[in-house]
């Protein structure tokens, strides 16, 4: 293979910046068609086409015809090798402004972008970690040298490093529920930092490790200024699903309520049983809370849900107006919406649940493999 | 699983994509039509890629056996004649008709004329494996009075087999169309 000095490398952080800034980008995804159809890079200003690298072994003419000349081009594959292989040929064909994605979709899936959501009344801040490639969201409450992490993702180093930068010690890690689409980093982060790991007891009946029980009325404090995290039992996505109210301002809804959709009740195999719980949580429990609360979910489904700087948030009252999942009047129609025609289940969701229960311990590579693809936790994700 | 008969083995262990496919493409260019290659790879991504590549090139992906960390992919180089050959055997039945016969436990013989590697991965329960190339040598083992159903992947090789059997005096021979590519009835494989 000839050297291609004009080939540039783009990393996941830079790609995130481009997507959030809505800068124009043309992406040639050279993975196989089924992987591409399952999951791809999305952005409002992103044009993307798929030509598998194995169709380009004899030359890239087929691709050149479809790539606009002069526009910034990013070639993407699963890990990196094939995108480099194809991108080099495109450069050799005389094209400029050609990049390949460092670490491929693997790196894209694992990139976390921290954004500040807002300040807390008595000092301190709430941060959101946007896993833009997979649509997962984690949170960190930082106050007076202490921190709590909610719905920690597998990349625990990012949280440790971030807390260190903020001069805070991680005291608590909490999961809103037993996740089925990604592997929780909550337990590992707690072990690494000496923090306490909290789980809803009803989701933890089969876990193999010790944990603290998230129960209504049992407030958790962060920092000397006592930022209270107040658990609200809100079943429906799972039987134990618990929401948190932070600082009387923020409502962390886990996988119960998203910005443009609502949680699906079927990932633990109990769709019919949990429909009533889900409806009750969404139409009664949340309705009784202060409507000024800022809703912060554990996922987003579409890039259109990303706000300024990538933040995913909305006022509860706005969601009652605009979220289709909160505006289904008839119970029967609601039941059909959340149990029929659901999107496919997340990749390896049963193995992921087993891992989060501590029943199996896959290697890092296996965990990465299990998490491939979109989160698909919402009813309306397609 | 018993040994799968192949014509070539390609070692792609330890190679990351795109190399397993690049090497497979080169290797298959050297094979004769109808021959089977085994590609050994450790890159998990090679599974979906080799299926996609085979689909787009028209080569026939047979299946993959997992052997510890090694994925053994089997691909048969397709014959252009397979898709172009004119069908001449006059007696044909649909997959559905054969499935009904089998479900009714009618006394029939099903002969699978695909390569042994194809037969290994999926076959109709009770079918007998006689690859097209070996049929002539095995004709004497068959009874010309039996009701014989011949199956392959798409109905072309089985058509050739039916014509050969007719010439040899078999008069109750039927070609199953389309064959295994559209078979939705019961299956077995050597692993089960």
The verdict on a CB contact (< 8 Å) between B17 and A82 is: yes
Q: A149 and A183, same structural domain?
A: yes
Domain that holds residue A175: 111-371
Task: Number of helices (H) and strands (E) in chain B: give both, helices first.
Answer: 7, 9
Q: What is the pTM of this model?
A: 0.75
The ipTM estimated for the assembled molecules is 0.71
Here the tokens at position A197 are 């790991």
Structural domains of chain B, count: 2
| CA triple A318-A322-A325, angle to 5 deg | 115
What is the DSSP-derived secondary structure letter of residue B51?
Answer: H
Would you tell me which residues 26-85 of chain B have a C-beta closer than 8 angstroms to some C-beta of chain A? 44-45, 48-49, 51-53, 56
Q: Establish if B134 belongs to a structural domain.
A: yes
Q: Establish if B3 belongs to a structural domain.
A: no
pLDDT in tens, A43-69: 989 999 999 999 998 889 889 989 998
CATH code, domain with A15: 3.40.250.10
Q: What is the DSSP string of A325-355?
A: GG----HHHHHHHHHSSPPPPPTTHHHHHHH
Q: A298 and A365, same structural domain?
A: yes
Q: A155 and A85, same structural domain?
A: no
Q: Establish if A378 belongs to a structural domain.
A: no
| CA triple B32-B36-B40, angle to 5 deg | 125
Q: What's the pLDDT score for residue B110?
A: 95
Domain that holds residue B75: 8-82
Per the CB < 8 A criterion, the answer to whether A235 and A241 are in contact is yes
Q: Which residues contact B68 (CB under 8 A, 6 or more apart)?
A: none
If you average pLDDT over residues B74-82, what whole number do you get? Answer: 80
Q: B175 and B107, same structural domain?
A: yes
Q: Establish if A377 belongs to a structural domain.
A: no
Q: What is the DSSP string of A219-236?
A: -EEETTTTEEEEEEE--S
Q: A190 and A91, same structural domain?
A: no
Per the CB < 8 A criterion, the answer to whether A265 and A339 are in contact is yes
Q: Establish if B119 belongs to a structural domain.
A: yes
- Of the candidates A7, A30, A77, A222, the residue annotated as catalytic is A77
pLDDT in tens, A273-313: 889 999 999 999 999 999 999 999 999 988 888 988 889 99
Q: What's the pLDDT score for residue A258?
A: 95
pLDDT at position A112 over 60: yes
Q: B118 and B67, same structural domain?
A: no
Q: Establish if A344 belongs to a structural domain.
A: yes
For chain A, give the mean pLDDT: 91
Q: Establish if B22 belongs to a structural domain.
A: yes
CATH code, domain with A175: 3.60.15.10
Here the tokens at position A206 are 């089969």
Q: Establish if A160 belongs to a structural domain.
A: yes
Q: B101 and B76, same structural domain?
A: no
pLDDT at position A1 over 60: no
For residues B93, B95, B100, B101, the Cα torsion angle rounded to the nearest 10 degrees is 50
pLDDT band at B83 (very low <50, low <70, confident <90, very high): very low
B17 is catalytic: yes
Q: Which of A51, A72, A107 is the last residue of a domain?
A: A107
Q: A229 and A255, same structural domain?
A: yes
Q: Is residue B19 within 8 angstroms of chain A, CB to CB?
A: yes
Distance CA B123, CA B120 (A): 7
Q: B52 and B117, same structural domain?
A: no
| CA triple A313-A257-A325, angle to 5 deg | 110
Q: B108 and B48, same structural domain?
A: no
CB pairs under 8 A between A and B: 43
Q: What is the DSSP string of A129-179?
A: EEETTTTEEEEEEEETTEEEEES--S-HHHHHHHHHHTT-EEEEEE-SS--
A375: closest CA among A294, A317, A312? A312
Structural domains of chain A, count: 2
Q: What's the pLDDT score for residue A382?
A: 43
Q: What's the pLDDT score for residue A225?
A: 62
Distance CA A346, CA A356 (A): 15
- Give the HSE-up count for residue A290: Cα atoms under 13 Å, Cβ half-sphere: 10
């Amino acid at each position: 293979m000839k050297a291609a000095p004009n080939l540039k490398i783009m990393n996941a952080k830079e790609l995130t910046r481009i997507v959030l800034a809505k800068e124009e980008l043309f992406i040639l995804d050279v993975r196989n068609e089924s992987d591409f159809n399952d999951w791809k890079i999305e952005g409002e200003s992103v044009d993307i086409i798929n030509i598998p690298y194995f169709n380009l072994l004899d030359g890239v003419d087929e691709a050149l015809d479809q790539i606009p000349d002069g526009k910034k081009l990013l070639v993407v594959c699963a890990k990196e090798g094939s995108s480099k292989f194809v991108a080099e040929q495109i450069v050799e064909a005389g094209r400029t402004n050609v990049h390949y994605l460092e670490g491929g979709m693997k790196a894209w899936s694992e990139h976390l972008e921290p954004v500040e959501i807002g300040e807390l009344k008595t000092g301190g801040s709430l941060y959101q970690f946007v896993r833009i490639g997979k649509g997962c969201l984690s949170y960190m409450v930082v106050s007076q040298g202490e921190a709590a992490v909610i719905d920690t993702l597998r990349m625990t180093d990012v949280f440790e490093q971030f807390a260190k930068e903020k001069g805070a010690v991680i005291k608590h890690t909490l999961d809103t529920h037993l996740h089925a689409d990604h592997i929780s980093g909550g337990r590992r982060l707690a072990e690494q930092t000496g923090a306490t790991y909290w789980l809803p007891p009803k989701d933890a009946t089969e876990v193999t490790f010790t944990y603290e029980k998230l129960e209504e009325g049992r407030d958790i404090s962060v920092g000397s200024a006592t930022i209270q995290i107040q658990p609200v039992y809100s079943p429906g996505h799972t039987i134990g699903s618990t929401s948190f109210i932070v600082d009387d301002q923020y409502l962390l809804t886990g996988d119960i309520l998203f910005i443009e959709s609502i949680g699906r009740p079927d990932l633990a195999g109990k769709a019919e049983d949990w429909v009533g719980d889900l409806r009750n949580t969404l139409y009664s429990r949340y309705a009784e809370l202060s409507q000024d609360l800022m809703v912060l979910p554990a996922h987003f489904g579409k890039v259109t849900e990303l706000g300024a700087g990538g933040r995913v948030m909305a006022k509860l009252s706005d969601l009652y107006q605009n979220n289709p999942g909160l505006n289904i009047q008839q119970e029967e129609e609601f039941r059909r919406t959340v149990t029929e025609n659901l999107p496919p289940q997340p990749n390896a969701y049963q193995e992921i649940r087993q891992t989060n229960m501590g029943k199996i311990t896959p290697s890092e590579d296996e965990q990465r493999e299990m998490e491939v693809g979109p989160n698909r936790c919402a009813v309306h994700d397609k | 699983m018993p040994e799968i008969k192949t014509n070539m083995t390609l070692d792609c262990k330890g190679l990351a994509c795109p190399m397993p496919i690049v090497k497979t493409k080169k290797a298959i260019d050297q094979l004769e039509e109808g021959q089977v290659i085994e590609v050994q790879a450790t890159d998990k991504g090679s599974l979906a890629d080799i299926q996609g590549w085979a689909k787009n090139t028209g080569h026939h992906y047979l299946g993959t056996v997992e052997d510890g960390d090694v994925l053994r992919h089997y691909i048969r180089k397709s014959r252009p004649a397979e898709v172009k050959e004119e069908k001449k055997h006059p007696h044909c039945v649909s997959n559905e008709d054969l499935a009904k016969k089998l479900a009714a436990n009618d006394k029939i013989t099903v002969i699978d004329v695909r390569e042994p590697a194809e037969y290994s991965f999926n076959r109709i329960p009770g079918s007998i494996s006689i690859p097209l190339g070996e049929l002539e040598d095995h004709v004497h083992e068959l009874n010309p009075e039996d009701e014989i159903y011949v199956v392959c992947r798409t109905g072309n090789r089985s058509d050739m087999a039916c014509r050969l059997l007719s010439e040899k005096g078999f008069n109750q021979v039927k070609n199953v169309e389309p064959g295994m590519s559209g078979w939705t009835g019961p299956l077995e494989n050597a692993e089960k």
